[in-house]
Structure 1
Amino acid sequence: MRSTAPRIRTGLTAGLTVAVLLGACSTSGPAVDTGRGSSRHSATTASGPGPSTAPTTPPSSEPTRSIPEAKGPAPTTAPGVRAAPDPASIAALIATKFEGGGLRLGAERGSTSAYRQYFASYRSNGLTISGRINVPRGKGPFPAVVLAHGYVDPAVYTNGETMLRERDHLARRGYVTLHIDYRNHAQSSKDPSNDARLRAGYTVDAVNAGLALKQSSLVDPSRIALVGRSMGGGVVYNALVVRPGLFRAGVAYAPVSSDTVDNFDKWVRRDASRAGAARAVIARLGTPEAQPAKWAATSPRTYFSRITEPLLIHHGTADEDCPIAWSQESVAALRARGKNVELYVYPGGRHTLTSPQWDTSIRRTEAFLQRNLR
Structure 2
Amino acid sequence: MILRTAATLLFSSIALQLNAAQLDEKKIQFLGPLTTYNSIKPNNTAHQSKIIQTLLPSLQSRVDSLSVFGNQLKWQKMSDIKALTMAGLQALKFQFNTKRFTQGKLSLAGIKTAHVFLNGEQLSGQSEFDIHVPTGDHQIVIIAEQVDNWNEVKINYTPKAEHDQITLTDKSQHGLSAKQLYDAPTLTAISHSPNGRYYLTTSRHYSDSTGNSPQTETLLKDSDGKTQYRFSGISASSVAWRDDSQQLAFMQDQKLILLNMKDFSTKVITQTLEGASGFHYFNDDTLIFTWSKNEDDAHKLIKHYRGLEDRWSYARSNSQVFLLDLNSSLINALTEGKLSHRLEDYNAHRNTILVSRNPQDYTAPPHMLTELLEINLSDSKQTLLGQYRTFRKASYAKDGIYLVAGPDFVGGLGRALPQDMLANNYDGQLYWMDLNGSNHKALSKKFDPSITTIDVLKSNDVLLKVNDEDRQQLYLFDRRKSRFKHIELGFDVVQDYAISHTRNNEILVTGTQASTPQQLKRITLKNNRAELLWDSKELAYQHTEIATLEEFDFTNQSGVKIKGRVYLPDGLDKTQKYPALVYYYGGTSPVSRAFSGRYPFNLWAAHGYIVYVLQPTGATGFGQTFSAEHVNAWGEHTAQDIIDGTKAFTQAYPFVDSARIGNLGASYGGFMTMLLATKTDMFSASIAHAGISNITSYWGQGWWGYLYSGEASKNSFPWNNPTLYSQHSPVFHADKITTPLLLLHGDADTNVPPGESHNMYTALKLLGKDVELIEYKGADHQILARDRRFHWWNTMLAYFDMHLKDQPQWWQFIYQK
Question: TM exceeds 0.5?
Answer: yes
How far did 1:162 drift?
A: 8.1
Conserved in 1, the CA contact under 8 Å of 2:554 and 2:563? Answer: yes
Match for 1:176 among 610, 614, 622?
Answer: 610
CA deviation string 1:18-76 (max 9, x = no partner): xxxxxxxxxxxxxxxxx989xxxxxxxxxxx999xxxxxxxxxxxxxxxxxxxxxxxxx
Pairing of 1:3-22 with structure 2 (within 5 A): none
Partner of 1:232: 669
Partner of 1:18: none
Partner of 2:745: 315
Partner of 1:298: 728
1:224 and 1:130 map into 2 onto residues whose CA distance is 20
How far did 1:312 drift?
A: 0.7
How far did 1:252 drift?
A: 1.1
Could you say if the C-alpha distance between residues 371 and 268 of structure 1 is closer, same or farther in structure 2, counting changes exceeding 3 Å?
closer
Partner of 1:223: 660
Whichever residue aligns with residue 149 of structure 1, its letter is Y
Pairing of 1:138-287 with structure 2 (within 5 A): 138-140=572-574, 141-149=577-585, 151=587, 153=589, 159=593, 165-183=599-617, 184-186=619-621, 190=626, 192-215=628-651, 216-243=653-680, 245-255=681-691, 257-265=692-700, 266=702, 267=704, 269-270=706-707, 274=711, 277-279=713-715, 282=716, 287=717
1:204 and 1:297 map into 2 onto residues whose CA distance is 16
Conserved in 2, the CA contact under 8 Å of 1:309 and 1:340? Answer: yes
1:268 and 1:317 map into 2 onto residues whose CA distance is 17
Whichever residue aligns with residue 142 of structure 1, its letter is Y
Partner of 1:46: none
Conserved in 2, the CA contact under 8 Å of 1:268 and 1:274? Answer: no
Given the alignment of the two structures, is residue 333 of structure 1 paired with residue 738 of structure 2, yes or no? no
1:290 and 1:152 map into 2 onto residues whose CA distance is 24
Given the alignment of the two structures, is residue 122 of structure 1 paired with residue 574 of structure 2, yes or no? no
1:139 and 1:359 map into 2 onto residues whose CA distance is 29
1:169 and 1:301 map into 2 onto residues whose CA distance is 32
Could you say if the C-alpha distance between residues 229 and 291 of structure 1 is closer, same or farther in structure 2, counting changes exceeding 3 Å?
closer
Q: What TM-score comes out, normalization by structure 1 length? A: 0.62
Partner of 1:349: 779
Partner of 1:135: 568
SS in 1 for 2:780: coil
SS in 2 for 1:139: coil
1:288 and 1:311 map into 2 onto residues whose CA distance is 28
Conserved in 2, the CA contact under 8 Å of 1:146 and 1:177? Answer: yes
Conserved in 1, the CA contact under 8 Å of 2:514 and 2:595? Answer: no
Which 5+ residue runs of structure 1 have no aligned equivalent?
Answer: 3-34, 38-48, 52-106
Could you say if the C-alpha distance between residues 151 and 359 of structure 1 is closer, same or farther in structure 2, counting changes exceeding 3 Å?
farther
1:50 and 1:328 map into 2 onto residues whose CA distance is 31
Conserved in 2, the CA contact under 8 Å of 1:150 and 1:229? Answer: no
Could you say if the C-alpha distance between residues 372 and 50 of structure 1 is closer, same or farther in structure 2, counting changes exceeding 3 Å?
farther
Which segment drifts farther, 315-324 or 182-191? 182-191
Structure with higher Rg: it is 2
Could you say if the C-alpha distance between residues 271 and 242 of structure 1 is closer, same or farther in structure 2, counting changes exceeding 3 Å?
closer
SS in 1 for 2:545: coil
Could you say if the C-alpha distance between residues 290 and 200 of structure 1 is closer, same or farther in structure 2, counting changes exceeding 3 Å?
closer
Which 5+ residue runs of structure 2 have no aligned equivalent?
Answer: 1-129, 132-180, 184-209, 213-491, 493-512, 517-543, 806-817
Could you say if the C-alpha distance between residues 362 and 150 of structure 1 is closer, same or farther in structure 2, counting changes exceeding 3 Å?
farther
Could you say if the C-alpha distance between residues 163 and 129 of structure 1 is closer, same or farther in structure 2, counting changes exceeding 3 Å?
farther
SS in 2 for 1:241: helix
2:566 and 2:743 map into 1 onto residues whose CA distance is 24
Identity, in percent, stands at: 23
Conserved in 2, the CA contact under 8 Å of 1:148 and 1:232? Answer: yes
SS in 2 for 1:179: strand
Conserved in 1, the CA contact under 8 Å of 2:546 and 2:602? Answer: no
2:662 and 2:581 map into 1 onto residues whose CA distance is 5
How far did 1:321 drift?
A: 0.8
1:272 and 1:288 map into 2 onto residues whose CA distance is 11
Whichever residue aligns with residue 763 of structure 2, its letter is A
Could you say if the C-alpha distance between residues 356 and 290 of structure 1 is closer, same or farther in structure 2, counting changes exceeding 3 Å?
same
Partner of 2:796: 365
How far did 1:289 drift?
A: 3.7
Q: What TM-score comes out, normalization by structure 2 length? A: 0.30
Partner of 2:515: 110
How far did 1:193 drift?
A: 3.3
2:778 and 2:792 map into 1 onto residues whose CA distance is 14
How far did 1:191 drift?
A: 5.7
Conserved in 1, the CA contact under 8 Å of 2:684 and 2:804? Answer: yes
Which one has a larger percent helix, Structure 1 or Structure 2?
A: 1
1:150 and 1:199 map into 2 onto residues whose CA distance is 8
Q: Which has the higher contact order (CA 8 A, sep 6+)?
A: 1
Which one has a larger percent strand, Structure 1 or Structure 2?
A: 2
2:545 and 2:622 map into 1 onto residues whose CA distance is 27
Conserved in 1, the CA contact under 8 Å of 2:705 and 2:751? Answer: no
Could you say if the C-alpha distance between residues 346 and 182 of structure 1 is closer, same or farther in structure 2, counting changes exceeding 3 Å?
same
Conserved in 2, the CA contact under 8 Å of 1:129 and 1:187? Answer: no
How far did 1:173 drift?
A: 0.3
1:337 and 1:135 map into 2 onto residues whose CA distance is 37
Could you say if the C-alpha distance between residues 322 and 113 of structure 1 is closer, same or farther in structure 2, counting changes exceeding 3 Å?
same
Could you say if the C-alpha distance between residues 289 and 162 of structure 1 is closer, same or farther in structure 2, counting changes exceeding 3 Å?
farther
